[in-house]
Structure 1
């Protein structure tokens, strides 16, 4: 029986100890863990401490229940915490997959049996070493200070992904960058939603750290905008799924803190409803003490004022940032116009955005005012935004619903159905006309200025 190959396996044992994902958590714990719903239950052959036994294992999202003993009123469970353990696939002499091995600093466990589905579910949470065995690099599609992004193809399924490859020599020297990466992985593992960029696998060796993620073929949002902005219905196609994504994040106690046009991409070119949030490098878990890796952070021109002012803040900072993106979508203009970082920060901190002159429906104008309220107390939450008349009914004037002047249920259903038909019609139009959203049409008059601003916007950490 073979585990990868002997050289790679020895490398794995060394790497788990020195892995940047070594969180100090043991492979085994004895306690009543949590009551989440089990995914699957099977009998396997277990190889442990040179002994073989048949055990019934139960798979949960982040752990495997190895055994359970009931003593009086207490339940004592032996749990395998596989998150951030190293995964090695076990093959027989005929190179047939027969099992897998989990390795952490405190021990290892080999599981033999029909395990393809288990491995598929584990891959999101474990660390692997055999990137080149599974993927072929096609071409470079992006680059940054610490990582390059490549188009890769899975050798067995031919499915294409984006591989974000970090150079460990660079990130190990930058403590905060290292923590940002591990937190980004921790957060993106929590979600399987089309409007949040998906993480599928993590590979690590002595030289590289590789994240296998969604390939978003539709480019950044800014390249899908028309000169002068989009219609209100078109803007809803983009914004509503993103507010739904925010609601999922916020329910898990997470804020993104770097929402901007460059961090919104489309799965498919021209299909606005496929908008997806990317880059969770500044995302974090909200806490009462306001203790974060970065407290004042974001991109000048798209940051909530309370962050720039150094005040305590909550999930509504994301609502404000997405509100600024909506302003850009509707008008084709940046909400703050200064061409210097200092000027952008000053305008952004002051937070004054003229809206009354915009030719918008009452629904849309009210929505913008409430998501862009400078005071967090007056700003909508992501959940409240989703039930605002603008996202429920589209353009028009249904603000009486906000003030509990609800119309009859028949009228409510009728208006909602009419709006859904309008959206469906618009989707059909965007599917059949590539010219409507040609990425080369956007902002031609200010192209040079925008390139300059975009370079400045690449600065992620704001220090006042």
Structure 2
């Protein structure tokens, strides 16, 4: 009996009703060839050459070529019933096509865009690390190699209850995560779907929330400037792609390593906006033209990052969204103390441009690249020495801090090291006639020779006395 492969694309949460194939493209794509495959479609099998470019597959047959937009298409690994050759099946809205051949390389290019169905066959869930209105975040482990990831499990029923707003946030976030590729932005791995849930697999940011590390560890001004640089570089990358986060706050900034500020990572792109060259409407300011809207979004993101930096240097937490609104209206009363922060002059200049009247005329045209060109980022910055190259005695006392940022030597550390050295000292030799040992301490190598000589003589005299008892007697302060 022929085995029927179930097709879930028609009932998929991501089904937008579009067809699997299209014959023309509305814009230019640069394709890369991935080889020859056997395509099976509508009970007809024929050899085709496959080309891929971002979210499009080009299929070249003998007489024609077709295209498949793979974003949110359902995919499944399959086995040819006759030749037992491995392949994959792409489907959309109930229409499907099967491709057999060397698919491993092509799979890595497709997995960020397509929807898979066998999450529990590849991953094992660990502890819960976060929770939201319609989703929960867990640690997940790849069953084959044990590699750790984060998986956001979204309840499809809860999404449908909120007038599709949460659904739009989810689709918007996936759309942006598929486009971005930056060291300081969250990396998407793959997406799965079951009857009840959507599983979004991303990298695991084990350092936790930036806010926890900032107020737990002591970072110098130089280290915090490095953090500023990383954040503005990632924001500049987004803005060059016309992507605006619009929800930057402490809750959406994490670390891969809780003591390495260069590992900072921006997450949560659900409320982000992508501005195309032609703007017909907007969720926020549909009465402004594109340049004004661009300026508004850019300022909102820049202020979001800048308030986080201000919180770190000022050691004070703010109502972030409320403060951003105040600054967008050029109300600087809430940060009137900036001029008295007593920081390095280039750093003081940075805060004055962002948060005082001095920057009123600049802020409307200020870009992340302009900020990165400020003097504060030209200061010669040196990271703390790596812990791996420290003296072994010091490494014994502080095993927790294993990042490239080494804490400043503490008084407790010095006392521990001093005590270790004292404990390793041997008693001094008394040169008096009674050959008694004083309790004051010395590094003299003669001490070991003296003890060894006395131990040998005592053992010869007291043949039946245990050696351990003789040694304890010699080391006694009353000897």
Task: Give the TM-score normalised by the residue count of structure 2.
Answer: 0.71
1:78 lines up with 2:37 in the alignment: no
* RCO higher in structure (CA 8 A, sep ≥6): 1
Give the CA deviation at 1:388: 2.0
Partner of residue 28 from structure 1, selected from 21, 24, 31 = 21
Partner of residue 232 from structure 1, selected from 218, 221, 225 = 221
Listed as ranges, the gaps of 5+ residues in structure 2 are 287-292, 391-400, 410-479
2:80 and 2:87 in contact (8 A); partners too? no
Structure 2 CA distance for partners of 1:106 and 1:96, relative to 1, 3 Å: closer
1:230 and 1:330 in contact (8 A); partners too? no
Partner of residue 93 from structure 2, selected from 102, 105, 114 = 105
Q: Distance in 2 between matches of 1:97 and 1:139?
A: 38
Give the CA deviation at 1:42: 0.5
Give the CA deviation at 1:53: 1.0
For residue 269 of structure 1, give the secondary structure of its aligned residue in structure 2: coil
Give the CA deviation at 1:211: 0.5
After the TM superposition, which residues 289-304 of structure 1 pair with which residues of structure 2 at under 5 Å, given as runs? Answer: 291-293=281-283
Q: Which residue of 2 aligns with 1:386?
A: 372
1:254 and 1:315 in contact (8 A); partners too? no
Partner of residue 67 from structure 1, selected from 54, 60, 63 = 60
Q: Which residue of 1 aligns with 2:135?
A: 147
For residue 347 of structure 2, give the secondary structure of its aligned residue in structure 1: helix
Q: Distance in 2 between matches of 1:134 and 1:365?
A: 51
1:366 lines up with 2:349 in the alignment: yes
Q: Which deviations, in whole Å up to 9, do the C-alpha atoms of 1:67-109 show, x marking residues without a partner? A: 2899xxxxx8521111110001113679987110100026211
Structure 2 CA distance for partners of 1:425 and 1:342, relative to 1, 3 Å: closer
Q: Which residue of 2 aligns with 1:172?
A: 160
Q: Distance in 2 between matches of 1:427 and 1:215?
A: 24
After the TM superposition, which residues 182-193 of structure 1 pair with which residues of structure 2 at under 5 Å, given as runs? Answer: 182-193=171-182
Q: Distance in 1 between matches of 2:46 and 2:116?
A: 26
Give the CA deviation at 1:313: 1.8
Q: Distance in 2 between matches of 1:320 and 1:101?
A: 46
Give the CA deviation at 1:190: 0.6
Q: Distance in 2 between matches of 1:334 and 1:250?
A: 26
Q: Distance in 2 between matches of 1:432 and 1:311?
A: 38
2:260 and 2:404 in contact (8 A); partners too? no
Q: Which residue of 2 aligns with 1:120?
A: 108
Structure 2 CA distance for partners of 1:205 and 1:47, relative to 1, 3 Å: same
Q: Distance in 2 between matches of 1:56 and 1:217?
A: 42
Q: Distance in 1 between matches of 2:82 and 2:315?
A: 60
Listed as ranges, the gaps of 5+ residues in structure 1 are 71-75, 297-309, 395-418, 438-464
Q: Distance in 1 between matches of 2:220 and 2:128?
A: 35
Task: Give the TM-score normalised by the residue count of structure 1.
Answer: 0.73
